[in-house]
Structure 1
Amino acid sequence: MPQLSLSWLGLGSVAASPWLLLLLAGASWLLAHVLTQIYAFYENSRRLQCFPQPPKQNWLIGHLGLVKREEKGLKQVTQLVGTYPQGFMVWMGPIFPLINLCHPDIVRSVLNASAAVALKDLVFYNFLKPWLGDGLLLSSSDKWSRHRRMLTPAFHFNILKPYVKIFNDSTNVMHAKWQRLISKGNTCLNMFEHISLMTLDTLQKCVFSFDSNCQEKPSEYIAAILELSALVAKRNEQPLLHMDFLYQLTPDGQRFRKACRLVHKFTDAVIQERHRTLPDEGLDDFLLAKTKSKTLDFIDVLLLSKDEDGKMLSDEDIRAEADTFMFEGHDTTASGLSWILYNLAKHPEHQERCRQEVQELLRDRDPTEIEWDDLAQLPFLTMCIKESLRLHPPVMAISRCCTQDVVLPDGRVIPKGVVCVISIFGTHHNPEVWPNPEELHRTDVRHERDEGGAGADAAALPRAARPRGAAQEA
C-alpha cells in the first residue's frame, strides 16, 4: 500500500487509505471555499467604500440598534437622510451590509432594473408565506409577471366604478357608529381601529361579495386577519423566532397556524361555491347576470382570468391572490386614511377648504353619495391626500437583492449580492428633494389665483408633483 508522508504535520508516514484521501480532499475544498468567501467579502467591502456610513456601535454588531422602533426611529431616519441625502450603508453585524437608498435618482436605478436583476428580498416576506402563499406580494420572476398580466383586468375602471357604492355604504356604517358613540358621551375614538374595520368590511364585499357586518358585530374571519397581521409584525421584532422551527414551537406560532387555517377555510369555501355556480349558469350567462345585478368581485375576476395560452389560475393561486389583497388592502389603506384625518385635524383651514369643495360639488345632490366621476372634481382634497401620504407613507420601505452589479447615475456601483433598502419614508423626507421636508408644503392659493396663474389650484397645498431637480420623474 502506498505511504503518505505527513512529517510536515509531525505525524510521520501513514498508509494513504481512501478515507484519508477523501478527508483531505474535503478539507481542501472547505478551506478553498472559506478563502473564496473571505476574498469576496473583502472585495465587496472595498467596492462599498464609496457609500458613506454612520459611526458603528462596534465592530461586532455594526449598526444594529441604530434606528429604534416607533416614532423615535422615524426621527432617526430623518436625521440620517439629512446627513446622507444620496443614500448610506449600514452593517447588520460584522459581515452583512445593507445599502439604504433615499433619493429618487438613486432609487430609480434599482426599481427600473428587471425583476431578475433586482429580486425581492424575502427575509420579512417569508413570514407571510404560510398565510399568503405565492401571490403577487411574494411571487417573483415569470410567475409574478404571468399573474400580474392576468390580474390587470381587475383594475379596469369599468370594474372599479361600481365599488364606489360599496365604499359609500361601508363609510356610512362607520359614520353612524361614530354618531352613536358620541351621543353616548364618548369624546375619544381609536381612529385606526375603526377605520381598519371599515376597510376590512369594504374588502370583504369587493373581494368575496360577502357582508360580514364586521363593523357592528364580531367576525371570526376578520379577527383572524387582524391577529395574523399583529403576529407577523411581532415576529419581525424577535430575531430568534425568525427560524421557522423555533417559531412553530411557541404559543404565537400555534396561534398563527390556527388563524391561517381559519382564513384559508373561508377563502376555499367561497372559491368552491363559485365553482359550483359557474357550470350551472354557463360563462356568458354568469357574466351577464353579474354585471346587471351586482359588482363583479375579485374572486369572479380570478376565476375567469386566462393567460395568453388559455390557462386559468389554480384554486391555490386564487386563494393566494385573494388572501394577499385582504392583507395588503386593509392595513395600508387604514393607515393612510387615519393619517389624512389626523393632518386635516391639525390644519383646520385646509379641512374647511376640503369640506367646502365637497359641498360645492354635491350642492344639488344627496351629500352621502359620492360617485366615480366626482373623484376627478376634487383637486384640493386630492392634493391634501397626496401630501399626507408623503409625510406619513403607509409602507416605510421595500427591499431588493441585486443579482448583478447595478450602476448608479453618479458612477457608483451596487455590487452583486448586496441587499438594498429603498426608503420610501426617507425619500419623502429628503431635504435635497423637499425643502423643509417636515413641514406641510403649501402656497398661497388666493394670491396665485388673483395673479391669474394657470396652475393656481395645482400649487395649492403640496408640491408632491414639483420636487426640485430630476426628482420630478420619480
Structure 2
Amino acid sequence: MHRKRFAGIPSPRSYPILGHVPITKPDVEGFVDQIMGMASLYPDEPRMVTFWAGPMPSVMLYSAELAEVIYTSSKHLNKGMFYDFLLPWLGEGLVTSKSEKWRPRRKLLTPTFHYDILKNFVYVFNHQSEILVNKLNEHIKTNEVVEIGSFVTLCALDIICETSMGQSVNAQTLKDSEYVRAVYRINDIVQRRQKYPLMWNDTLFWLFGDGKEHKWAINVLHSFTRKVIMDRKTRLHEEGSAGLGRLAFLDLLLDMEKNGDIDLGDIQEEVDTFMFEGHDTTATGITFVLHMLGCYPEIQEKAYAELQTICGTSEEITFEHLGQLKYLECVIKETLRLHPSVPIYARRMEEDDKIGGFTIPAGTQILVNAFLIHRDPKHWPDPEIFRPERFMLESNNRRHPFAFVPFSAGSRNCIGQRFAIMEEKIVVAWVLRNFKIVSLKRRDETRLKTELILRPIEGVRLQLTPRPK
C-alpha cells in the first residue's frame, strides 16, 4: 500500500522490501554515477525520481520549479535523516535543529553575519592567505606540482577557528594537532556511516563500525571548544571586549548569553556548527575554483588582470576591493554552479503535499539535487561549458530564482554564504596574484565523489609557477 502512494513518479525497477539496495554500487564513484544516472533516465518533466533504501522511499528533485515548492514552504523545514549522524558532534545547532528550535535561533544569529561584522574578518582572511602562499612557495622549491586541496583545507581550518573562536589552531604551521586530526576523522566517519545502512544502527556502529574512534573524535572536539569558550568568557569578564582585540563570532554569542538569550550549551552547539559548516565546504569550493582557473588559462588571465587593475600594489585585498572584483565573483559562482560544495540537500516532508502533480506523503525524505538543477538546460544553455559571464547582472535577472542554489535557498539557506564568498575571493586572489596555475587534469578527467560534500576523488594537482613581482 505504501508503495502505491508513489506510483506514477519515475523510478527504476526495484525489489519488494529491499528496494534498490541489492543493485546499489558499494564504491563511492559508482554510487554517485547511479544517483546521477537515475536522473538521466528521466531527463524530462517532472524531473523527479523515487528510489528505495529498503522500504524507505526518497524522492529526488532536480528542477528549479520543483525545488521552489520545498524552498518556499514554511512547513518542510526539517532536515533529512542523514543529518542525524551529525547530532553527536553539532547537537541541535542551526544545521541540525528541528524547525521549532531553528526559527528563533536563526533570527537571533542572523545579525552576527551582517556585513559590518564580516568586514572585521578580512584581516584574518588575508593573514591566513599569506601563510598559505608562503607554504606553497616552500613546497614548489622542491616540487612544482602541488595537491592544492590539502593546503587550502588547512588554511580554511585556521580561518574558521580564528573567526569563530578567536583562536587559531595553527593548522598550516604545526605538523600535528589533535584537534585537526579529530576534525578530519569525524568528517570521514560520518560520511562513511551515511553510505552503509547497517551502520545506521547505533549498536552495530559501536560494535562493528567506527564507534570507538567516533567517541574519541567527539571528546577531542568538544573538550577543545568547551575550553576555548570558558577561557574566552573569563577574559571577556576580566578585560572587557576591548581587551580581546578583534572580536570573533564567539564573543557575539557570549554577549547573547550575558543578555540571557542563549546558554553555554547553545553556544557550544553553534561554535561546533560554524566549525563544520565553515571549513570543509569553503575549502572544497576554493579548491575547485583554482582547478577551473588552471583548466582555462584565458579566464585565469582575465581574472588576474581584474585583480591587478582593482588592487594594484596593495599588499592586502581590502573590504572595498571585494565589491569591485566582479569577474572573480563570476568565476567563483560559475564554479559553484558546476561543483556545488553541498550537491544534495535533504528535507523531511512534514505533511502530505503536492510536488510536480504528485502527492508526496508526510515523512518522505526529499533530496534537492543542486548538482543537477545547475545543469538543467532549460535554465542553463550549454550547461557543461564553464562560462563565468553567465553571472553578469543582466543574465542573472532573467534566470529562475531557484536555478542556482549552491547555499540552499529559502528561509533555511546557509547563514554564512556572504562569509564564504568573501573568504573564497580573498584566498583565491592571493593564490592568483602570486602564481600562474596549470591544472594537470582536465575537467572531464577529474572524478568526483558525493558525500555530504562534493569532492575530487584523487584531489586536484596543480603546477604553480611564481608570477614576477
**Structure 2 length as normaliser, TM-score?**
0.79
1:92 aligned counterpart, secondary structure: strand
Q: Determine if the alignment matches structure 1 residue 324 to structure 2 residue 270.
A: no
2:49 aligned counterpart, secondary structure: strand
Per-residue Cα deviation, 1:175-216 (whole angstroms, up to 9, x for no partner): 1011111112x1222211111100001111111111222102
Who is 2:79 aligned against? 120
**Alpha-carbon distance in 2 for matches of 1:273, 1:289:** 13
| Residue correspondence of structure 1 range 257-296 to structure 2 within 5 A | 257-281=215-239, 286-290=240-244, 294-296=245-247
Q: Which runs of 5+ in 2 are unaligned?
A: 410-469
| Residue correspondence of structure 1 range 259-408 to structure 2 within 5 A | 259-281=217-239, 286-290=240-244, 294-305=245-256, 311-363=260-312, 365-366=313-314, 368-408=315-355
Who is 1:416 aligned against? 362
Equivalent residues of 2:199, 2:209 under 8 A apart: no
1:249 aligned counterpart, secondary structure: helix
**Alpha-carbon distance in 1 for matches of 2:55, 2:3:** 9
Who is 2:465 aligned against? none
Q: CA deviation at 1:265?
A: 0.9
2:351 aligned counterpart, secondary structure: coil
Q: CA deviation at 1:97?
A: 1.9
**Alpha-carbon distance in 2 for matches of 1:287, 1:442:** 42
1:161 aligned counterpart, secondary structure: helix
The one-letter amino acid paired with 2:170 is N
**Alpha-carbon distance in 2 for matches of 1:362, 1:51:** 53
Who is 1:192 aligned against? 149
Per-residue Cα deviation, 1:348-399 (whole angstroms, up to 9, x for no partner): 1000000000001112x32x30011211101111111101000001101111
Among all aligned residue pairs of Structure 1 and Structure 2, give the percentage whose two residues are the same amino acid: 32
1:394 aligned counterpart, secondary structure: coil
1:381 aligned counterpart, secondary structure: helix
Per-residue Cα deviation, 1:38-87 (whole angstroms, up to 9, x for no partner): xxxx1x4334223222333x445333345775455545444443433433
**Alpha-carbon distance in 1 for matches of 2:86, 2:260:** 27
Give the CA RMSD over aligned residues.
2.6
* Greater RCO, 1 or 2 (C-alpha within 8 Å, sep 6+): 2
Residue 67 of structure 2: which of 95, 101, 107 is its match? Answer: 107
Q: CA deviation at 1:470?
A: 8.5
Who is 2:374 aligned against? 428
From the superposition, tell whether residues 442 and 279 of structure 1 become closer, same or farther in structure 2 (CA, over 3 Å): closer
Who is 2:424 aligned against? none
From the superposition, tell whether residues 67 and 351 of structure 1 become closer, same or farther in structure 2 (CA, over 3 Å): farther
Equivalent residues of 1:61, 1:94 under 8 A apart: yes
The one-letter amino acid paired with 1:404 is E
Equivalent residues of 2:376, 2:383 under 8 A apart: yes
The one-letter amino acid paired with 2:73 is A
Q: CA deviation at 1:157?
A: 1.3
Mean CA deviation greater in 245-254 or 267-276: 245-254
The one-letter amino acid paired with 1:141 is S
From the superposition, tell whether residues 393 and 142 of structure 1 become closer, same or farther in structure 2 (CA, over 3 Å): same
From the superposition, tell whether residues 442 and 324 of structure 1 become closer, same or farther in structure 2 (CA, over 3 Å): closer
From the superposition, tell whether residues 288 and 441 of structure 1 become closer, same or farther in structure 2 (CA, over 3 Å): same
Equivalent residues of 1:103, 1:433 under 8 A apart: no
Bigger Cα Rg: 1
Equivalent residues of 2:257, 2:263 under 8 A apart: no
Who is 1:21 aligned against? none
Who is 2:386 aligned against? 440
From the superposition, tell whether residues 210 and 247 of structure 1 become closer, same or farther in structure 2 (CA, over 3 Å): same
Q: CA deviation at 1:262?
A: 1.1
Who is 2:198 aligned against? 240
Q: Determine if the alignment matches structure 1 residue 225 to structure 2 residue 174.
A: no
**Alpha-carbon distance in 1 for matches of 2:61, 2:27:** 19
**Alpha-carbon distance in 1 for matches of 2:331, 2:199:** 40
2:78 aligned counterpart, secondary structure: strand
Mean CA deviation greater in 380-389 or 238-247: 238-247
Who is 1:254 aligned against? 212
Equivalent residues of 1:433, 1:469 under 8 A apart: no
**Alpha-carbon distance in 1 for matches of 2:324, 2:104:** 35
2:146 aligned counterpart, secondary structure: coil
Who is 1:182 aligned against? 140
The one-letter amino acid paired with 2:149 is F
Who is 2:171 aligned against? 214
Q: CA deviation at 1:466?
A: 4.5
Equivalent residues of 1:400, 1:420 under 8 A apart: yes
Q: CA deviation at 1:298?
A: 1.2
Q: CA deviation at 1:306?
A: 6.0
The one-letter amino acid paired with 2:215 is R
From the superposition, tell whether residues 389 and 332 of structure 1 become closer, same or farther in structure 2 (CA, over 3 Å): same
Q: Determine if the alignment matches structure 1 residue 158 to structure 2 residue 116.
A: yes
**Structure 1 length as normaliser, TM-score?**
0.78
